[in-house]
Copies of this chain bind each other. A is one copy, B any other.
Amino acid sequence: MASRREVAELAGVSEATVSRVLNGVGPVREETRQRVLEAARKLNYQIHALAASFARGRSGNLGVVLPHVPKVRLFSTYYFSEMLDGIGEAVRERGMGLLLLYRRPQEPFDYVPLFGSVRIDACIVLGASSLPEEEAGIRAMADEGLPFCMIDHRSGDGRASSVCAAHEEGSRRAVQHLIESGYRKIGFLNGSPWYSPSREREAGYMRALREAGLAPDPKRMFAGNYSRTSGRRAAEDVYARLRDLDAIFVANDRMAIGLMQALRERGVRVPDDLAIVGCDDSDAAAMVDPPLTSVRVPFGAMGRTAAERLLDRLPDWRGTESVFHETLATELVVRESSAPRS
């Protein structure tokens, strides 16, 4: 491991300047800052400097990186507001700040400098996907051994800590419930496969069919993007294949509610003509008519768990050795939208 003096020599500056740059304190000319960062990178000095700044100067902020979802008000969305409330509780109890940062669409997000300039001590990533440009940002953080965690998404990189929900088991249980309620021609409306929960829900759907000796049918698989509008759009395809369906499992409540509304406009009765089960158990699930059966996902507890694990481990974070993975249980909440087949 290189020393601070070696970084200073390579950059042609004083050791004090190296400290100022790497700890993000005091005024430094941008060109100088770049030269120091370049030298530190070349000498692989980064981790050492970060460890030092963690020991000494902390920002007192937990960073939370949010996706940019066009036309969606994130805080007004059950999924994000619940996770943020859980994270916020843990942050508040520790007297820290919560720094929200926004990813831009179709752009790699450069997380590492956020730590280097001591804007954040640790980082939680929400709404991440497996898209290559997103994975690259995650890998860069893991390369540096930085303290971060993803919620509700499993990265391909095992060095990325995660707090997830048992979506496969929850989905299996939801489809099993439909089968026990007398339904046999069970469709599946999923969200984008770039999100790991989508892949897990599909696995659970498949497993439930297999366990009941039912053959999956590609004609009963539908695709949305987790928005209510995409649920409404899917209604056209679902309606066209209604003879082949008596129930449908939907990967989140927003799509399920959009689908239900659009089907009702076409005269389809739920559950008489088509039973529907959603995922998330959002506030809206109990409010719609008929009330929606849904897989409850403990987003608030997931947010709190992620923040607590990160912040509790922070004082002696040891890079990859400190990585953690947790999976919280889901639970099926049965309502009228999946009443037993008459």
Residue ranges of A at the interface with B (Cβ–Cβ < 8 Å): 1, 4, 24, 27-30, 33, 44, 46-47, 51-52, 54-57, 59-61, 63, 68, 73-76, 78, 80-82, 84-85, 88, 91-92, 95, 97-102, 104, 107, 110, 113, 117, 119, 283, 287, 300
Contact = CB atoms under 8 A, between A and B. Distances in A.
Given A76-B85, A81-B81, A85-B74, A99 B24 contact: no
A44 B107 contact: yes
A71 to B, nearest CB: 11
A59 B120 CA distance: 11
B102 A54 contact: no
A100 B102 contact: no
A183 B73 CA distance: 38
A88 B97 CA distance: 16
Most buried by B among A33, A51, A92, A95: A51
Nearest to A75: B81
15 contacts: A24-B54, A28-B55, A30-B52, A33-B51, A33-B55, A51-B113, A60-B119, A68-B92, A73-B85, A74-B88, A76-B81, A91-B102, A92-B102, A97-B119, A98-B99
A258 to B, nearest CB: 15
A54 B60 CA distance: 16
Given A30-B4, A75-B81, A81-B76, A101 B107 contact: no
A30 B119 CA distance: 19
Most buried by B among A27, A75, A88, A102: A75
A28 B55 CA distance: 6
Given A51-B117, A68-B92, A27 B74 contact: no
Contacts of A107: 44
A81 B97 CA distance: 18
Contact of A110 (B1, B57, B80): B1
A95 B114 CA distance: 13
A313 to B, nearest CB: 22
A27 B56 contact: yes
A190 to B, nearest CB: 26
A224 to B, nearest CB: 22
A63 B92 CA distance: 15
Nearest to A56: B27
A110 B4 CA distance: 17
Given A52-B30, A55-B27, A55-B33, A110 B76 contact: no
Given A1-B110, A73-B81, A81-B81, A119 B61 contact: yes
A74 B27 CA distance: 36
A96 to B, nearest CB: 9
A336 B60 CA distance: 49
Contacts of A73: 81-82, 85, 300
Given A33-B55, A88-B100, 13 more contacts: A27-B57, A30-B51, A33-B51, A54-B117, A75-B75, A75-B85, A76-B82, A76-B85, A76-B283, A95-B104, A97-B100, A98-B100, A100-B100
